[in-house]
Amino acid sequence: MNAYSKQELSVIGESIAATHLINSGYAVVCRNFRQACGEIDLIVEKDQRLIFCEVKTRTSHYMEMALASVAYTKQKKISKTAQIYINQNPRFCNHIFRFDVLVVFYFSDTDTLSVHHFEDAFFPIVEN
């Protein structure tokens, strides 16, 4: 049984989520895109779609709590950051955009992880 710090577990969770997406036919375009307004954990592409992914890694296995942590304020930050990414990368302007959430559960007793992928987890929040 390994004892990981919260930071280590977060990095491991993002890597496992990226591997899961690659194995599902997605291409990773960018990891940890940071701007002053927020961060996007993973940006992937598949079938003319650009998908902005939030990854939540948890040691407590409560799906509702993990999903609830991607609340309105977080969605707003991700949406704004995604808009910046799109503006900086015009090659994706003809893509369809989507916002997914991946929840990674860590099981300390077996030192294993499981990934749950929620496509179209939320709609972008646009401010006027």
Tens digit of pLDDT for each residue in 33-83?
A: 999 999 999 999 999 999 999 999 999 999 999 999 999 999 999 999 999
pLDDT in tens, 110-120: 999 999 999 99
**CA–CA dist 28, 45 (Å, integer):** 6
Per-residue pLDDT at 46: 98
pLDDT classification of 1: cutoffs 50, 70, 90? low
- The class that CATH gives domain 6-118 is alpha beta
Domain boundaries, the chain: 6-118
Which of 105, 76, 109 lies closest to 12, judged by CA? Answer: 105
Q: Find the DSSP H helices in 30-121.
A: 63-68, 72-88
CA–CA separation, 104 and 18 (whole Å):
11
pLDDT at site 128: 63
